[in-house]
Structure 1
Amino acid sequence: MREIYDALIIGAGAAGLFCAGSAAQAGLRVALLEHGPEPGRKILISGGGRCNFTNLDVSAKNFLGANPHFCKSALAGFTPYDFLALVGEAGIAWHEKTLGQLFCDDSARRIVEMLLARMNGAELHCGVRVETVTHDGRFRVETGKGVFQAKNLVVATGGLSIPKIGATDFAYRIARQFGHQLVTPRPALVPLSVEAAWIGALAGVAAPVTAQAGKVCFAESLLFTHRGLSGPAVLQISSYLTPGESFMVNFLPGTRLAEILPAAKRARPKAGLKSVLAEHLPARLAAHFAQAHPGNLADLPDQALRRLGDELNGFTFTPSGTEGFAKAEVTAGGVDTRGLNSRDCGSKTVPGLFFAGEALDVTGWLGGYNFQWAWASGHAAAKAIRERC
């Protein structure tokens, strides 16, 4: 039997590592358990190996969940600039890519090393399989490597996305065990499947677009794949779609093609539609949309040109599904936040029980937002534990 810890944290991903470090920095006795062979595996593969560790512009508007206001308190308690200060102290060089997204100049491993250095004597146990969790005034966690006891328990084992690096439903099972409800988990920030032969024929083609579903609109790039659609704009919109729901893509944002094509016909009647479209679209995409209209612009009625222009400014896709948790960057849904305190992500009914990171029904946009939620929620839980101790 080991000592009784102030905080026992299960899951050495972004949220768990940060929570352990924040608690250890406060002088608490901390143990961090990880079922995989090493900590921070999702950090290491993120951002092409350079980790998009936060975003300069973070607010509740960048997150979705059944309660869109839940994340406000934790995000206010630990901001992107707080994390940047730690990055600076660790001497990690970084750069802004686009839309406020911050990446390491070097390797994502530098972020993991920084998080481990912050743990300040906290114990890290990898390759530990949790068998049972019980609570009788304190938490007792039985594992294949012995029993751990603690006054406080933080579950930071993430969601179901990317099972090849060890994602499981552990957090959801613990939540249910202690009386918490779940918002049905589903893949988010995930490529979409579209059952149309012409989509696969354009695999590899990318274009700047706006993607819109209802009132939500993202202006980023779209990528055609052999199975459907991907790229930042599509990943973003995927988090907001329900099964069977369509979304609209504007292939020429800021351009009224229904006006440009008839004007081009009058100015260059002998020009081919494909060549005119290729002035605005990738060549293969232009060829696809022009193939039903052979000949010169002079041969095409203005009405047909306007109709094609309107279609390209508002093309509707109806996905047949997604590529699932295997390709999803995060999990939407999770532990229902109605049962948690927004100040610290702690259980309203089980004192000392906390959830952090992706395990909760808080899902960020693509671009560093989910990492910022991991840092902020882990920090909030650690602060509350310090106050309890």
Structure 2
Amino acid sequence: MVNLSILVSSLYLASSAVAAALPASAPKTCKNPIVRREWKQLSIPQKRAYIDAVLCLASKPAISGIEGAINRFDDFQAVHSSQTPDIHWVGHFTLWHRYFIYTYEKALRQECGYTGAQPYWNWSLDAEPQNPTSTRIFDSEIWQADTGFGGNGNKVEPTNETNPFGIVGGTGGGCVQNGPFTADKFSVNFPTPHCLKRDFVPTLINVWADQKLVNNVLAQKDYTGFARAVEGEASFAVPNIHGSGHFGVGGALGQAGDANNSPGEPVFYLHHGNIDHIFWMWQQKDLKTRLRQVGGPIIPFDYSGKNVTLDFEVGLGKLAPTVQLRDLLDTQGSTLCYTY
């Protein structure tokens, strides 16, 4: 007769998102991790150095081999676009984007002489969830014309065709009007050349960037719960922090609101830098366990199907080597080298 407790334990372990054992890890090679900081913590020269590096990247020829990518900045957008169907609402969403941001940071440093780390934008510091229609968040330092990324686009009325999700409350939609990424200084080339567009939506950014939502994410007990809480549901009816920096900035017509091509918005990297910072903070709460814990579906939304494991591989085409998820859990390990 089968021992019931053994059977139950076996079934639990088979379906668990937690990796039960971690083989011998590669030796740590990270000796001097760079320190990522929130945008407001940077000095004016540091902010300008970062933006100069982004513009530098946009001046160097593409290496991805993806049609439509003209420069190195385009490379990242093109790779994200080509993999979009497989990297959202999956178990590797958080770690794929961690690797993506790290590779971008590395390009800025190695190819454009940037000596700092990838900054992040903690939108919760600027949001006013108690006053959803407030536009104060768009006066934040990150949107300043001379020391930030510039502001909103000019007002364009969306149509049913250009606004398939029915997003309401957009305040822009056209080309950005000031700052370092106006059409005369910067072009989004993939898949076809166009200006950088923004469509600020106060209600989305204020409500979806609520610190209470961040606290809920940080309270999750395991990796699978964390990942699901970050992305939330594929619905505008339920706020989620991942959507805040996308649809709050991009709305219906802006670059950040285009799921495939959102990395064409330079602030994408600060938005996802913040998602990674939240992930890092979550890991610190139980570091020993969470440096060996992954889970969630391989196929988007397939929560009853096969889960990712520590051996699951992710790659960025020609931009970076293929690695296993285990290689991306430690920001100071053998693959990554940074901290917060």
Q: Same fold per TM (> 0.5)?
A: no
TM-score, length of structure 1 as denominator length: 0.21
Relative to total residues, which structure has the larger helix share, 1 or 2?
A: 2
Structure with larger Rg: 1
Relative to total residues, which structure has the larger strand share, 1 or 2?
A: 1
